Chains A and B, each alone.
Chain A
Amino acid sequence: MSPNLFERGIAKAWEYYSKDVGKSLIHWGSVGWVFSSLAQVFAIAINNNIDKKEKKFLIPQELADGAVNVGLYYTITQAIKSLGDSLVDSGSFIKKDTADFLNILKPENTGLKEFIKTNGGVSSIISKIQHEKNFPGADVSQLNRAVSLADRAADSFSHWKNGVGTLFTILASVLACNVITPYCRNRIASTFQHHHIVRTEASKPSGIKPDFALKRPLPSAFNGFRI
């Protein structure tokens, strides 16, 4: 029996997100914000206790809030999480036990960061040892020691990278949702209100125009009067 869509979806969720909690928070956080924003627009529209003038500001504010919220949430959290991931993978922010593991393979006259950079990052080095049981330039004793510690090093690095990614995502989401978005949405929404007020004022009549014609002409004595 061929696997159904639901089972394939569950499998994809494992493959994409089981090792990277931060990625899940970013993607599904963004989807959640879209629906939350639509619901809030609906809340304003059906609330009879908010008068029309205020709704004209609040509805665009909420739509702007939603669009800006989702856009900024995704871009800022993605950017800051990527920064966290690259700090960890480049060896700029790693645990001592990961550094000790990498030092087993590192040539003596090479700096650790240079070694990591030359070999494609910490994840790449650990993965090579774990899966290929081989590393270019390493002698037999270095290789044997590294292979015996590879699984533990991979776990330790994975826990650390996951934790850093999660923390960076949380901090980025607070910055995006609670500082940058309210400022941006207020600027956008107040522009909406200003344009609405200008259009409303422009459409009001400017004084009374005498727009009538006499059905019977006045006697000549009144010809001197002009309205």
Chain B
Amino acid sequence: MIVNNKHLINAVEWAGKKINSPQQRFILGLTAIAIQPVIDFTNKNVDRDTREVSAARTSAKIIAGTSVGVLVRWACIKAVNAFSGYDIKTEGSKVVKILKKSKKDIFTPTLARLADDVTVDNFKHLYGNHVKNLGSILATIVMIGTNFLVDVPLTVLLTNKFTKMVKSHDNASKEVKNES
């Protein structure tokens, strides 16, 4: 299939330039909250009480995980961006070396071996990818800590809240049934 539709081309290339781990995490979270609690609640292999707690916990986990995940990734990409200023050395149109702009630029890849197809025209785009990817890697390391310190307490808090909501709704339904 040879694609000539400008809108489709722009959309696909936009995805490659703009979407990285925070956006991916957000999309995963949004689709997860729409799908996963329903799957858990309709799981007939376990009893009703377990299904309700499972669905409540899944919802809590998704909300906690997505909020923290998106925030940490976004913050880490910002941090890497702030410490990855660069200058470049060129030979004609080819970029042959990346240099730090200042001493604080610890994330600048000065030792990277640059392929022949890295040019002055495409360098900014490649460097943008590098900053986002490195930010995502840093976020993964940071999340080893935040998973336990933030995700877990937030998940527990939300699970208890949602479980109480489900149980009180059940009790209210039972009362209505008894009265009728």
Contact = CB atoms under 8 A, between A and B. Distances in A.
Interface in A1-50: 3, 6-8, 10-11, 13-15, 17-19, 21, 24-25, 28-29, 31-32, 35-36, 38-40, 42-44, 46-47, 49-50
A193 interface: yes
Given A19-B129, A21-B16, A11 B111 contact: yes
Contacts of B106: 6
A8 B112 CA distance: 8
A190 B46 contact: yes
Contact of A93 (B3, B132, B137): B3
B119 interface: yes
A159 B11 CA distance: 11
Interface in B44-59: 45-46, 49-50, 53-54, 57-58
Q: Do most interface residues of chain B lie in helix, strand or loop, or is the interface mixed?
A: helix
B159 A47 contact: yes
B151 A17 contact: no
Given A25-B21, A94-B3, A187-B45, A35 B147 contact: yes
A14 B126 CA distance: 9
Contacts of B3: 93-96
A96 B134 CA distance: 33
Interface in B11-34: 12-17, 19-21, 24, 27-28, 31-32
Contact of A35 (B93, B111, B144): B144
B147 A14 contact: no
Interface in B38-82: 39-40, 43, 45-46, 49-50, 53-54, 57-58, 61, 65, 69
Given A11-B113, A18-B133, A159-B13, 16 more contacts: A7-B111, A8-B111, A13-B134, A17-B133, A19-B126, A21-B20, A24-B137, A35-B143, A40-B152, A40-B155, A92-B1, A162-B13, A162-B129, A163-B16, A182-B39, A186-B39
